[in-house]
C-alpha cells in the first residue's frame, strides 16, 4: 500500500493544525483527498481518532469548512479525519444525477460495471484510510470513533456494525438508515451492487441489526424539518430496529432543524463530547 501523502494545505487553528492531504489510492485507483485536524498535544502522545463520513454531493471540504468541530476536538485531544465521498478524476465514470456516481459513492464496494474498478469506498474507509492515518499522524487506532451525515451516516452505521469492536463510539446526523426501503438506496445499491437485494443487506443498518449485528450504544440527531425525513431517511425504522435488538440508543428528533450544516454544526460539539467520553483511556 502506498503510504505517501502530499500536503495540500495546513493552517494553525485552535492551537492545532488543520491539514488537507492527497494520495494515490490503491482501493479506488485514483487520487484521493482528505482532511485531518490534529490538536495540540504532548510530544510522543498518541491521540484517539474520530472519522467523519460526508453525504451526497460533498467532499472533505464541507465538514472541514462548516462543521465547527475543532474547538471540541482541541478540548478533548481528538484527531478528526474527513475523507471524500467518492473517487474523482477524468477516468472515473459518472452519472448526470446528483445522487449517483461522483460525490455519491455510498460507502460500498461496487461489483457492477462500469463502477467496480473505482467505486471501492468501503475498502478505502475500512482499510486504506486507517492505515494512512496510523502511518502519518500521532493516532491511537485502538481508540476510534466514527460518525457521518446522511449518506455518510449510512456509511458510519454500516461500517461500525460490520466491524464489531473496532469503533468505541458511533453517531450520525440524519442518516439513511434503511437503503433497502428508500429511493436513494434502491438507486445506489442497484447500480453499484446489482439487483439481488440479499446482497444489499450488508449495506443497510436496519437489516444488519435485524441479522444480528450490534453496537454498544448509539447517538443520532435528526431534524424534524428535514425535507428528506419521510421518503429517504426513515428514522423511525432505526428506532424500531434498535428497540427490538435492545441496543442502547439516543435518537433525538430536533425540532425545526433541516438537513444542512446549520443543523450539523449546532450539535457537532455534543457529538464530539459523546465520542470523547467513550474513547477515554
- Selected catalytic residue, list 23, 76, 149, 259: 259
166 and 160 Cβ atoms separated by less than 8 Å: yes
Three state DSSP letters for 159-202: HHHHCCCCCCEEEEECCCCCHHHCHHHHHHHHHHHCCCHHHHHH
Q: 84, 128, 90: which is closest to 105 by C-alpha?
A: 84
Which one is catalytic: 84, 204, 221, 226? 226
**259 is a catalytic site residue:** yes
- Out of 150, 160, 169, 171, pick the active-site residue: 150
- Residue 37 phi/psi, 5° resolution? -100, 125
Residue 171 a catalytic site member: no
Residue of 65, 58, 74, 240 whose CA lies nearest to 151:
58
25 catalytic per annotation = no
Which residues belong to the active site?
150, 226, 259
Amino acid at each position: 500500500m502506498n503510504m505517501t501523502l502530499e500536503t495540500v494545505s495546513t493552517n494553525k487553528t485552535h492551537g492545532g493544525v488543520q491539514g488537507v492531504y492527497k494520495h494515490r489510492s490503491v482501493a479506488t485507483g485514483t487520487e484521493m483527498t482528505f482532511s485531518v485536524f490534529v490538536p495540540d498535544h504532548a510530544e510522543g502522545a498518541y491521540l484517539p481518532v474520530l472519522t467523519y463520513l460526508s453525504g451526497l454531493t460533498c467532499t472533505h471540504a464541507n465538514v472541514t469548512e462548516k462543521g465547527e468541530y475543532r474547538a471540541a476536538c482541541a478540548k478533548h485531544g481528538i484527531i478528526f479525519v474527513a475523507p471524500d465521498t467518492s473517487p474523482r478524476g477524468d477516468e472515473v465514470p459518472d452519472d448526470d444525477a446528483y445522487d449517483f456516481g461522483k460525490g455519491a459513492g455510498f460507502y460500498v464496494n461496487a461489483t457492477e460495471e462500469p463502477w467496480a474498478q473505482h467505486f471501492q469506498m468501503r475498502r478505502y474507509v475500512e482499510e486504506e484510510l486507517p492505515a494512512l492515518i496510523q502511518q502519518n499522524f500521532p493516532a491511537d487506532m485502538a481508540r476510534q470513533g466514527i460518525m457521518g451525515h446522511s449518506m455518510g451516516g449510512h456509511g458510519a452505521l454500516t461500517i461500525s456494525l460490520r466491524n464489531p469492536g473496532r469503533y468505541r463510539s458511533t453517531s450520525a446526523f440524519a442518516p439513511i438508515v434503511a437503503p433497502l426501503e428508500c429511493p436513494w438506496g434502491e438507486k445506489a445499491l442497484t447500480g453499484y451492487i446489482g439487483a439481488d437485494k440479499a446482497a444489499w443487506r450488508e449495506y443497510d443498518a436496519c437489516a444488519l441489526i435485524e441479522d444480528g449485528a450490534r453496537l454498544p450504544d448509539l447517538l443520532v440527531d435528526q431534524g424534524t424539518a428535514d425535507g428528506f425525513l419521510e421518503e429517504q431517511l426513515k428514522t423511525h425504522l432505526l428506532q424500531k430496529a434498535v428497540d427490538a435488538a435492545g441496543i442502547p440508543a439516543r435518537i433525538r428528533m430536533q425540532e425545526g432543524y433541516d438537513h444542512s450544516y446549520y443543523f450539523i454544526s449546532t450539535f457537532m460539539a455534543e457529538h464530539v463530547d459523546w465520542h470523547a467520553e467513550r474513547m477515554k483511556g
